[in-house]
Amino acid sequence: MGNSVIVRRLGLLAVLALCVVLLALVPYLPSYYVRVADSILVYIILAVGLNLVVGYAGLLDLGFIAFYAVGAYAYALLASGQFDIHLPFIVVLFIGAAAGAIAGVLLGFPVLKLRGDYLAIVTLSFGEIIRIAINNADDLTNGPQGIAGLDRASLFGLPLTSPVHFYWLLLVLTVIVCAGVYYMERSILGKAWRALREDQDVVRGLGINTTTLKLLAFALSAAIGGAGGVIFGAFQRFVSPESFTFQESLLVVLIIIIGGVGNIVGVIAGAVVLVILPEILHFAAQYRLLIYGVVLVTVIVLRPGGLVSPRFNLGFIIRKVRTLWLSPSKT
Amino acid sequence: MALALENVSKHFGSLVAIRNLSLSFDVGSIYSIIGPNGAGKSTVVNMIAGSYSVTSGTIRLGATALNRLPKHRIAQLGVSRTYQNLRLFDGMTVLENLEVCFFPQSWLTFLTGAKRLSKAERLDICHACLAEFHLSDVADVLAGDLPYGRQKILELARAFVTQAPIVLLDEPAAGLNHTETKDMAAMIAGLKREDRAIILVEHDMDMVMSISDRIDVLNYGELLCSGTPDLVRTNERVQEAYLGTTEELDDIRKLAQSRRAQGGLRANAGIVRH
C-alpha cells in the first residue's frame, strides 16, 4: 500500500469528518441560521420527493405543494383544538404520508393520459384547486384565517419544540428519504421510470403497464410531500392557505431544475442555493426578486443541465468511497 | 403457438390501409412481409403489436384475441418488436436497456401475475443475451453512445431477451451498410428457433430472399402473393407491383439512357453521403 493511498484515504476521511462536523455545528448557530437550515432540509425533502415524478418519470408536476398542504392540514386537523383531536406526531406523520399518497393517486388518475405541457397545466390547476378549497372550507379549515395553536409535537417522549429539535428530526428524515429514493433509483423500478421518461410507447411495448408506473411515482412522491407537510405543520404550529401558493410549487420545481434533474446531489445543492439566496438578498429587499431572477436565468443559460453535473451523483460518490476503501489500486 | 390475422382491415379515415387481410404465422419459421412503399407493411406490424387498433377482423395469438387488449398486455403475452427508427433508451446503459424488459417479472408480479425472476436470474439472462449478440464489451456504455450499427443490434437483442414467441422486426437493416446488413441477416437467421416466429418487414431484398421461409407480398393493403422466396421472385404480379409493367420499364430505361448521353445525370445524383 503506497503512501498516496494513505494520503487519499486521509483526505477522504477529512472531507467526511468535515461534513459531519459542519452538520453537527449547525444547532450551535444563532436561531436564525438554524431556521434557515431547517428550511433547506424541508425543501431538500420536498424536492427529492418531487424529483421522483419530474426527474425519474419525466412528468412535470407544477402542483406539488398541494401534497405538502395535505400533510400540513392533516397535522392541523388531527393534532389541535380544531376538532379536539390530539393524535401523536408520529401517527400523524404516517397519516399525512398516506393522505398525500391518496391525493397523489387521485391526481394521477385523470392526468395520466396527458403529457408535457398539458400535464403541467393540469397539475398546476390541481395545486391551486387544493389551496382554494382549503381557503373556502371555513368549517373544516377556518378558511384564510388558518388553524393556529397546533399541538406541540413530541417524538418517543422527546419534545419537538425548538428549531434545533426540528433540525435533528429533519436531518434524520432527509437521510432516510435520500437513501430510500437512491435505493429506488437503482432498483428496476427506477430503471423503468427512466425508460418511461425517454419513450413511453416503447415502455408499453415491453409489456410494462405505464399507468401503474406513473401512479407509483405520483403516490410515492406525494407521500414524501405529505410527510414534509406534517413536519411543517408541527414546526410552525400554524397553517394557512398562504403557505401553499403556486410560488411554492414553482420553487420546488426550480430547485430540481437549477440543481440537476434526476440527481439527488444536484437537488440538495439546488435547495441550498435557492433557500439561502433570498436570505442573503435581504439587504436589497426591493431588488430581491430581480436579482433572484437574474441568477436563475444565468444558471439556466450557462449550465442548462443544472449546477451539478449528472455524473456527480450519489452513486458516483458511493462508488468512489468504496473503491478507495476496498481496492485502492483501481482508483 | 401461432399468430393469425383473420380478415383484418385497417382504415385511416377514408384511406383503406389494409383490406381483408388473412395471414397465419407459426413458430419455427422466419416470415417476411414486403411490398412497395405505402403497401401497409408497417401497419400490419403496428396492429399486431397493439399500436394501432384494428378497424375490423381479429388478430389471434393461440386462442387469445389480441386486438381488444392494451399494448402492454399484448407484449406480456409474448409479442415483442423493434422499430423502424431506432427507439432505444439512449440515457440508459446497454445492460439497463435489456434489464428493464424484465420489469413485469420483478417484485410487481402481484399486479402482472407473471412468473417472478430474482435480480440475479434477471442479470444472468441479460448478460447471456449480451454475449449472444456480441455486446458484452459495451454492457455499461450508454446506449446513445454506441455506433449506429450496434444500436440496431441492441434493439434486436431487446426484442429477443424475453424469449417472446412472436418477434416483429420492423426494417432491421434500415441505415446499415452492405457488410452490416449481411451480418444482420446472418444474425437473424441464427435466431430462428422451434418455439419462435420471426416476422420481418424489410426493404433489403437480398436479406429477405436469403433468410425467409415464407414471403408475404402486400400491395395497396392486400395480399398479392405469398410463398417461398423462389416463388415470389418469379411471380409476375410481384414484379409489376415493384417495377411497373414491362412497357413502363422500357420507358424508364430509355429515359435514363438519353440522360446519360447528355451527361447530365451522374450515377450518384441526389444521394447525399455522410
pLDDT digits (tens, 9 = 90+) for B87-101: 999 989 999 999 999
Partners of B2 in the beta sheet?
A: B26
* Per-residue pLDDT at B203: 86
* Per-residue pLDDT at B245: 59
Average pLDDT, chain A: 85
- The whole-angstrom distance between A198's CA and the closest CA on chain B is 6
Number of CB pairs, chain A paired with chain B, less than 8 A apart:
79
Q: Is the pLDDT of residue B264 over 50?
A: no
Residue with cell 401475475: B113
Q: Is the pLDDT of residue A18 over 80?
A: yes
A36 vs B270: which has the higher pLDDT: A36
A184 has a chain B CB within 8 A of its CB: no
> Average pLDDT in the A53-66 region?
87
Residues of B with Cβ-Cβ distance to A212 under 8 angstroms: 108, 111
What are B150-189's pLDDT values in tens digits?
Answer: 999 999 999 999 999 999 999 998 888 889 999 999 999 9
Which residues of chain B have a Cβ shorter than 8 Å from any chain A Cβ? 49, 51, 70-73, 75-76, 80-81, 83, 87, 89-92, 96, 99-104, 106-108, 111-112, 119, 122, 158, 162
- The whole-angstrom distance between A155's CA and the closest CA on chain B is 33
Residues of A with Cβ-Cβ distance to B91 under 8 angstroms: 194, 198
CA nearest A181: which of A305, A270, A57?
A: A57
CA nearest B197: which of B151, B170, B166, B222?
A: B166
A160 vs B226: which has the higher pLDDT: B226
B107 vs B93: which has the higher pLDDT: B93
Do residue B103 and residue A198 have CB atoms under 8 angstroms apart? no
What ipTM score was computed for the predicted complex, to two decimals?
0.82
Q: Is the pLDDT of residue B81 over 90?
A: yes
Sketch out chain B's domains with CATH numbers. Answer: 1-78+169-249 (3.40.50.300), 89-163 (no CATH)
What are B125-152's pLDDT values in tens digits?
Answer: 999 999 999 999 999 999 999 999 999 9
B265 vs A295: which has the higher pLDDT: A295
What are B181-228's pLDDT values in tens digits?
Answer: 999 999 999 999 999 999 999 888 889 999 999 999 988 888 888 888
Long-range pairs for B40-46 at CB < 8 Å and ≥24 separation? B40/B10, B40/B218, B40/B220, B40/B221, B41/B201, B41/B218, B42/B84, B42/B170, B42/B201, B43/B10, B43/B17, B43/B18, B43/B221, B44/B5, B44/B18, B44/B201, B44/B218, B45/B81, B45/B168, B45/B170, B45/B199, B45/B201
> Average pLDDT in the A26-32 region?
83
* Per-residue pLDDT at A91: 87
**Strand A238-239 relative to strand A147-148, pairing:** antiparallel
B250 vs A222: which has the higher pLDDT: A222
Weakest mean pLDDT among A36-40, A44-48, A116-120: A116-120
Q: What is the pTM assigned to this prediction? A: 0.83
Do residue A208 and residue B103 have CB atoms under 8 angstroms apart? yes
Residues of B with Cβ-Cβ distance to A195 under 8 angstroms: 89, 92, 100
A202 has a chain B CB within 8 A of its CB: yes
* Per-residue pLDDT at B269: 40
**Strand B2-12 relative to strand B56-61, pairing:** antiparallel
Do residue A212 and residue B108 have CB atoms under 8 angstroms apart? yes
SS3 call for A329: helix
* Per-residue pLDDT at B268: 41
**Measured distance CA(B216)–CA(B40) in Å, rounded:** 12
* Per-residue pLDDT at B111: 63
Q: Is the pLDDT of residue B17 over 80?
A: yes
Question: What does the block give as the cell for B169?
Answer: 422486426
For residue B85, give the chain A residue with the closest CA. A202
- The whole-angstrom distance between A62's CA and the closest CA on chain B is 24
SS3 call for A80: strand
Task: Please provide the distance, in angstroms rounded to a whole number, between the alpha carbons at the two ends of chain A.
Answer: 13
> Average pLDDT in the A321-325 region?
77
Among A208, A212, A215, A316, pick the best mutation site for testing chain B contact (most B Cβ within 10 A).
Answer: A208
- For residue A331, give the DSSP letter: -
* Per-residue pLDDT at B271: 44
* Per-residue pLDDT at B159: 94
Q: Is the pLDDT of residue A331 over 80?
A: no
* Per-residue pLDDT at A1: 52
Confidence at B243, pLDDT banded by 50, 70, 90: low
DSSP string of chain B, one letter each residue: -EEEEEEEEEEETTEEEEEEEEEEEETT-EEEEE-STTSSHHHHHHHHHTSS--SEEEEEETTEE-TTS-HHHHHHTTEEE--SS----TTSBHHHHHHGGGGGGSTTHHHH-PPP--HHHHHHHHHHHHHHTT-GGGTTSBGGGS-HHHHHHHHHHHHHTT--SEEEEE-TTTT--HHHHHHHHHHHHHT--TT-EEEEE-S-HHHHHHH-SEEEEEETTEEEEEE-HHHHHH-HHHHHHHH--HHHHHHHHHHHHHHHHHT---TTTTPPP-
A252 vs A321: which has the higher pLDDT: A252
Do residue A204 and residue B83 have CB atoms under 8 angstroms apart? no
Weakest mean pLDDT among A27-36, A185-194, B151-160: A27-36
Q: Is the pLDDT of residue A285 over 90?
A: no
**Measured distance CA(B217)–CA(B173) in Å, rounded:** 18
Cβ B216 vs Cβ B226: under 8 Å: yes
Residues of A with Cβ-Cβ distance to B75 under 8 angstroms: 204-208
Average pLDDT, chain B: 86
The alpha carbon dihedral of B128, B134, B140, B142 has a sign of negative
- The whole-angstrom distance between A216's CA and the closest CA on chain B is 11
- For residue A152, give the DSSP letter: P
Q: Is the pLDDT of residue A13 over 70?
A: yes
A154 vs A175: which has the higher pLDDT: A175
Confidence at B35, pLDDT banded by 50, 70, 90: confident
A189 has a chain B CB within 8 A of its CB: yes
For residue A210, give the chain B residue with the closest CA. B72
A86 has a chain B CB within 8 A of its CB: no
> Average pLDDT in the B243-255 region?
64
